[in-house]
Amino acid sequence: MPPNNPYLVERLQGFGTTIFSEMSALALETGSINLGQGFPDTDGPDEVREIAIEAVRSGYNQYPPGLGVEALRKAISVHQGRFYGLDIDPVTEVLVTAGATEAIAASLLALVEPGQEVVTFEPYYDSYAAAIALAGGVRRVVTLRPPDYRYDIAELEAAIGPRTRLLLLNSPHNPTGKVFDREELAQISKVAIENEILVVTDEVYEHLIFDGREHVPIVTMPGMADRTVTISSGGKSFSLTGWKIGWLHGSAELVSAIRTVKQFLTYVSGGPFQHAIAAALLLRDSYFEDLKSDMEAKRDLFCSGLTDIGFDVFRPAGTYFATVDIRPLDSEDGISFCLGLPERCGVVAVPTSLFYDDPEAGRHLVRFAFCKKPEVLCEAIDRLSVLKTGGVL
């Protein structure tokens, strides 16, 4: 937990610089392979990057429209129709944002009154806790438990109360790699409808899903169209995380409410990149199939390496993260394990306990990002192999 900063408002105390910056500094100091942060080490398609360059050259350099450039809003609508059979109005039901991160923050700021409760699954992506706190909301968590990271429906029902405003969902899920299946989504939808709560769903890994599984946006479930805000971004689907082009869609009323907040956060961003992501969303099917199969091959390579070393590996169904239980390697505490790893092996990983309200639930779990070139993953496995014979850290 970072030290308190007397200048920082109370509701954000504890959200200062985290162990992540410590880990990155360690990675630099020790020349480690950084499998901590989730960004690929290869850039997205040349043709998409060329469109961005062309957009800069041809004068798309002033503020784009507040809702996002028309071509991108249309492409988002076409993409949601093509992959999920959705019919989205690009004029009233889509909003382009500065990455999924802004879409999440703007949604919570727009939809949650101070004191209202937001239910999410732990472990959770770290911006969720901060965005809920920014909105003055109260976080309630339901724990996903290994090995399959299912939740207990009784725990979900118990987390919902009269002050619950919305459920913040993430599928495919970071850090666990879980993909919520139709049965679970039907259960969550039923709970949302019965309790009249909204669902904000973060689907940034929608195209990184393995073993022939399907991504099911919860908005496609019966009764969910008017109570769901669906969020995604170009970062993960096109390996262009630095562009920060995200979006959300929902009913015209929900989108209009969120737009009210978003316009005072960034107003707009990334004009030329918006044109390029519009083209990216319309790429041929083979692009999306190759993205998936390349990442699946990396998952297989990396997870079998981790298994050989002796970790208990939770093979992800989606995303580009693998979590492991470190106890078979005679370690108990993920934080000290990860702090020692750069020095010991020259590899950086992230302790999963940081993504839990109940750190005990994830104390022995560690997350690796495998969105790296195969030779980098092989080198990382090689370096980690010293743990096979190593003792407790």
Ligand X SMILES: Cc1ncc(COP(=O)(O)O)c(C=O)c1O
**213: which residues sit within 8 A by CB, 6+ positions away?**
179, 317, 318
Binding ligand X by CB under 6 A: which of 77, 101, 116, 323?
A: 101
Binding ligand X by CB under 6 A: which of 125, 288, 356, 370?
A: 125
Q: Which is nearer to ligand X, 36 or 342 (CB)?
A: 36
Q: Which is nearer to ligand X, 101 or 331 (CB)?
A: 101
Distance separating the N- and C-terminal Cα atoms of the chain:
21
Closest approach of ligand X to the CB of residue 259, in Å: 17
**154: which residues sit within 8 A by CB, 6+ positions away?**
none
Q: Which is nearer to ligand X, 202 or 393 (CB)?
A: 202
Nearest to 94 by CA among 298, 319, 245: 245
**Tokens standing for residue 356:** 């839990």
What is the contact mask toward ligand X in residues 29 to 68, using x (rule: CB under 6 A)?
---------x------------------------------
Nearest to 122 by CA among 366, 352, 368: 352
Q: Is 239 in the site for ligand X (CB under 6 A)?
A: no
Q: Which residues of 318-341 are buried (b: 16+ CB within 10 A; e: fewer)?
A: bbbbbbbbbeebebebbbebbbeb
Binding ligand X by CB under 6 A: which of 34, 80, 120, 174?
A: 174
Q: Under DSSP, is residue 66 helix (H, G, I), strand (E, B) or coil? A: coil
Q: Is 202 in the site for ligand X (CB under 6 A)?
A: yes
**Tokens standing for residue 227:** 């109570």
Closest approach of ligand X to the CB of residue 110, in Å: 17
Q: Taking each helix axis from N to C terminus, what angle separates 99-111 and 126-134, rounded to the nearest 10 degrees?
A: 40
Peptide bond into 316 cis (omega under 30): no
Closest approach of ligand X to the CB of residue 123, in Å: 11
Binding ligand X by CB under 6 A: which of 68, 123, 235, 316?
A: 235
Q: Which is nearer to ligand X, 101 or 353 (CB)?
A: 101
Q: Which is nearer to ligand X, 23 or 393 (CB)?
A: 23
Q: Is 123 in the site for ligand X (CB under 6 A)?
A: no
3 state SS for 22-36: HHHHHHHHHCCEECC
Q: Is 99 in the site for ligand X (CB under 6 A)?
A: yes
d(CA 327, CA 310): 9
Q: Is 217 in the site for ligand X (CB under 6 A)?
A: no
Q: Is 318 in the site for ligand X (CB under 6 A)?
A: no
Closest approach of ligand X to the CB of residue 170, in Å: 5
Q: Is 246 in the site for ligand X (CB under 6 A)?
A: yes
Dihedrals φ, ψ of 96, to 5°? -90, 140
Q: Is 241 in the site for ligand X (CB under 6 A)?
A: yes
Contacts of ligand X in 141-160 (CB under 6 A): none
Q: Is 250 in the site for ligand X (CB under 6 A)?
A: no
Asked whether the beta carbons of 306 and 104 are under 8 A apart, the reply is no
Q: Which is nearer to ligand X, 246 or 351 (CB)?
A: 246
Closest approach of ligand X to the CB of residue 205, in Å: 7
Q: Could you identify the residue written with the tokens 């703007």?
A: 106
> How many residues bind ligand X, per CB under 6 A?
14
d(CA 6, CA 10): 9
Residues at the interface with ligand X (CB under 6 A):
38, 99-101, 125, 170, 174, 202, 204, 233, 235, 241, 244, 246
